A = this chain, B = another copy of it.
């Protein structure tokens, strides 16, 4: 990881479909050198995956919610693996703080969100479900 790698990563964060030759120009090297750096960054796990950022509302999801979940301490891993397998789970985090588990969920509408919250509540070991709807994404 040197300065060039940082620039490269930042370029890819902005546009992961940029051709190697474009990246090469920006960094002042050849496409082959860029390719090698990418391979290295992928292998090291710096780049987890090439992906897209989508607008959930445009995909028919009216609500995006951050849901804090409290569990019985010994059940936290069970609960988290179960959550991660749910189709409504977009992201699952183990955290310190108020809640030990945080979930980002995408819901089609109010009814769906209610279902999700109920579904989480039914997972054995879950003590409390604290949903917060994301009203706006500012960054």
Residue ranges of A at the interface with B (Cβ–Cβ < 8 Å): 1, 6, 9, 12-17, 44-55, 58-60, 66, 68, 80-81, 83-84, 89-99, 102, 130-139
CB-based contact B49/A138 at 8 Å? no
Q: How far is the CA of A51 from the CA of B7 in the complex (A)?
A: 14
CB-based contact B139/A84 at 8 Å? yes
A–B pairs, 26, beta carbons within 8 Å:
A1-B58, A9-B52, A12-B51, A14-B51, A16-B50, A16-B52, A45-B58, A46-B54, A47-B53, A66-B93, A66-B95, A66-B102, A84-B138, A90-B139, A91-B137, A92-B137, A92-B138, A92-B139, A93-B134, A93-B137, A93-B138, A94-B135, A97-B130, A98-B130, A98-B132, A102-B132
CB-based contact A51/B137 at 8 Å? no
Tell whether A133 pairs with B97 under 8 Å between CB atoms, given A17-B16, A84-B138, A92-B138: yes
Q: Which residues of the other chain, B, contact A90 by a CB distance below 8 angstroms?
A: 139
